[in-house]
A and B are shown apart, each in its own frame.
Chain A
Amino acid sequence: MTPARVTEPALLSVENVTLRFGGLQVLRGLSFEVRAGSISSLIGPNGAGKTSVFNCLTGFYRPNAGVVRFLGQPIAGMRPHRITRLGLARTFQNLRLFREMTALDNVMAGLHCRTSSGLVSAMLHLPGQQREEAASLQAGEHWLAFAGIAHHRDRAAGNLSYGDQRRVEWARALATQPKLLLLDEPAAGLNHDEKERLIALIRRVREELGVTVLLIEHDMGLVMRVSEAITVLDYGQKIAEGDAETVQNDPRVIEAYLGREED
C-alpha cells in the first residue's frame, strides 16, 4: 500500500478534451476531475456542451483531441459497451427505456455485462445457466426494490408514470454495478416530492453502494444541496469550479447565466 496521500487520486479525469462537429466547436480544451466517492455536478447554460461531455465519457462521441482517464485507463474512443463494463454507467436526458418490455426486463439489461451465459448453455439448460438466470432474476428484483418500484415489476416500462420510468432507468444503470454513475438531468420533469426522493436516492447510492455520482442538472436548488464539487461549463469551456458557495459567487458564472451588465 502506498502511504496516504494528501489528495485522493481522481476516479475520472478529463484532460484538454476537444470535440468538433464540422466547424462547430462543442468542447474547447475541457479539463476536470471527479474524485472517487464524491457527488459532483456539471452545470452550465443550455448548449454549453454538458451532454456532449457525457457522450465523450461513455463512448458515444469520440473526442477530436484530449485524454479521458477512468481508473487511470484511457477510455476516449472505446466502444460504449466496453466502457460500461469498466464500471461507468449512465442515464439519458430523454429516457431511453425499452418501452415495450417490462420494468424487470429493463433492469435485467444492466445485468448483461456482469453475466456470461451463452446460447449453447441456454439451449441445453445447463445447470450453470439456470443458476445464473435465477441469480439475474433476483438481482433484477433487488435493483427494482432499491429504486422503490418493485411493485411495477411486470408492467411495460412505457406505461409507467414519468417519475417511475426515471426510477427504472436508475435501477437499470445501477444493475451494471458501476463505480461511477452519470445522471443526465435526473430531476427533469419530476415534481417536488419526487425530487426529494431523488436526492435521497443519490445519497443512498453513494453511502450504501459506494458509487461516485456525476450529474448534469438545471435545478440549481438540487445541485447546490447534493453536490460537493461543481464544474461550470459555458461554450464548451470550464469557467469555474469548486463547492456550491464558490461557484455561486463567481462573477463569470453569474455572467454566463444572467448576462453582463451593460456599462
Chain B
Amino acid sequence: MARSFAATLEAPGVRPTLIGLLLVVTILIPRFADNYVLEVLTNAFLYVVLCLGLNIVVGYAGLLDLGYAAFFAVGAYTTGILTSRYGIDFWLTIPAAVLCALGAGVIVGGPTLRLRSDYLAIVTLGFGEIVRISARNLSITGGASGLVGINRPSLFGWKLVQINQFYYVFLILAVLACVVSFRVQGSRIGRAWRYVRFDEDAAEAMGINRVAVKLYAYMLGAVFASIAGCFYAAKMTAIAPETFSFAQSVLILLGVVLGGMGKIPGVILGAFVLTVFPEVFRGIGSLRLLVFAVVLLLIMLFRPHGIWPDRRA
C-alpha cells in the first residue's frame, strides 16, 4: 500500500500537479474557513518552517540538535526588543535577527561541530536552556513575564492585523522554506551533507571539510528558526520565555522524526500532525495528550523512518 503510494508519487507529472492542487486549496481556504481553523493552520505553517529548518540540521547533516528553540527565541526576541523598545520597523529587524542567529550558530557550532554528534546534542541542550534562562532573567527581555506591545508590521501601507492576513504571510514563509530546502538539498553542499552523514572519513578523503559543511547546516537551520521567530513575535505581539523551552525543541524534533527525516513532504506532514492533531481531539480534554503519545509510539514502532514512504533505490 505504502509502496504503491510511493510509486505513484514518482510517476512523471504527478508531483507538480499535486503541489499545484495543494497550493490552490491552501490559497482558497480563508474564503471558507472560520478564524479558529485559520489560527490552527497558521500555527501549522509556522511549524512547517521550524521543522524544515531543523530538518536541515538533523535530517540532511545528521546532527542531533536538542536546543533548536533557542534560535526561534533569538529571532522572536530580536524583533520584540527592537520594535517595542527602540521603535524600529519590523522588516528591518529580520536581517538583525538573522545576523544574531548566525552569530549564535558560529559561537555554539564552531567549537562543538569538531566533536562527535553526541557531544553536540549535549551542548545544544545546554545552549537552549541558557537562552531561555537568560530571557527569563534579563531586564531587556522583560523577565519571566516576557515582552508585550510588539508592533505589528505593515506592508505597503496595510497593517497586518487579522488572522487571514497572517495566514497568507505564514503560508508564503512555509512555501519559501520548502523551495529553499528543495534547492539546497540537491546542491553541492546538500550532497556534502549526505556524504558527511553517511561516512565522515570517506567524505574527508574526498576533500570535503566536514566541520565547515556541518557548520553550514547548523547556521542555515538557525536562519530558518530566527525568521520564523520574527514573524511569530509580530503575530503574537507578546512573547514569553516559556515558549522557547526544551519541550518546544523536542516538539520540533518530533515533527521532523515523525514525518521522516530528510524528506520534505514528510517533514511538512509531521508539522501538520503536530499542530492539527491536538486540536482535532480537543473534545476529549486532557486525555488527548495521552492519545497523542500513544499514536506517536505506534508510528515510531511501525514506521521508524517516519510516516512518509521511503524513496526506492
Contact = CB atoms under 8 A, between A and B. Distances in A.
B182 to A, nearest CB: 10
Contact of B191 (A58, A89, A108, A114): A108
B190 interface: yes
B311 to A, nearest CB: 10
A92 B207 contact: no
Contact of A113 (B191, B198, B208): B208
A100 B313 contact: yes
B184 interface: yes
A156 interface: yes
A110 B184 contact: no
Interface in A72-125: 79-82, 84-85, 89-90, 92, 96-102, 105, 108-110, 112-115, 117-119, 122-123, 125
Given A109-B208, A112-B208, A113-B208, A101 B198 contact: yes
B206 A122 contact: no
A194 interface: no
Contacts of A58: 205
A172 interface: yes
Contact of B207 (A81, A105, A123): A81
B205 A84 contact: yes
Contact of B195 (A98, A117, A136): A98
B116 interface: no
Contacts of B204: 59-60, 79-81, 84
Interface in B172-201: 180, 183-184, 187-192, 194-195, 198-199, 201
Interface residues of B, number: 26
Given A100-B313, A123-B180, A90 B187 contact: no
B209 A81 contact: yes
B205 A90 contact: yes
A204 B188 CA distance: 29
B216 interface: yes
A113 B207 contact: yes
Nearest to A105: B191
Interface string A218-258: 00000000000000000000000000000000000000000
B168 to A, nearest CB: 22
A125 B182 CA distance: 11
Given A81-B209, A84-B206, A136 B313 contact: no
A176 B198 contact: no
Contacts of B209: 79, 81-82
Contact of B187 (A80, A101, A117): A117
A81 B214 CA distance: 14
Closest 7 CB pairs of A and B: A113-B207, A122-B187, A84-B207, A156-B313, A96-B202, A80-B204, A109-B206
